[in-house]
Structures are given as structure tokens and as C-alpha cells.
Amino acid sequence: MQTDGEMRMLTFQLGQIERMIADQLGAEGNNFIRIGKSLIINRSYIYYINVTKQKLTLSDVATFSHTVTASKEALKQLKELIEKEATL
């Protein structure tokens, strides 16, 4: 909300948001990852991936929990990426 009480909405393509995150956060921007065509998530909050039910739960394990849906392929790729990083 603006100081004049008016609401303003801006629209961006997800690719533009990805670039903004990279530009503004630098190396910390690597915590954010694009999932499929419609989601950007903070990988630090990945709690549970259920590929078959197409659900991804993000949580801080204390006060915050949110579940989103994504394609099976996107979640499968995310799970493989996380498993690969865990073995490095």
C-alpha cells in the first residue's frame, strides 16, 4: 500500500523474478530455486517432497508450514538435485 492509500500491483514473469533475486541477493540467491514453470522456493525450507501426490511442504519446523503443488516431473528433478547435493 502506498502512502496515499492506493494499492498498486506489478506483474512480472517468473524469469524476471529469478533475475531480481540473483541481482539483489548475490550468492544468497542460490538458496532460491525454480520448480517447474510456476514456483520459486527457498531450498532452506524444503521439509518434505511427495512426488506421487505432487506435494512439496516448506517449513521452518517451528512456526511455519506451507504445502504447494507441482508437477511430478518438477518434484522428481528437485528430489534428485537434493539427493545429489547431499552426497557431495
Contact 17, 40 (CB under 8 A): yes
The DSSP string of 18-40 is: HHHHHHHHGGGGGGEEEETTTEE
Convert the pLDDT of each residue in 21-58 to its tens digit: 999 999 999 999 999 889 999 999 999 999 999 999 99
Convert the pLDDT of each residue in 57-67 to its tens digit: 999 999 999 99
Contact 43, 33 (CB under 8 A): yes
Rounded mean pLDDT, 3-27? 90
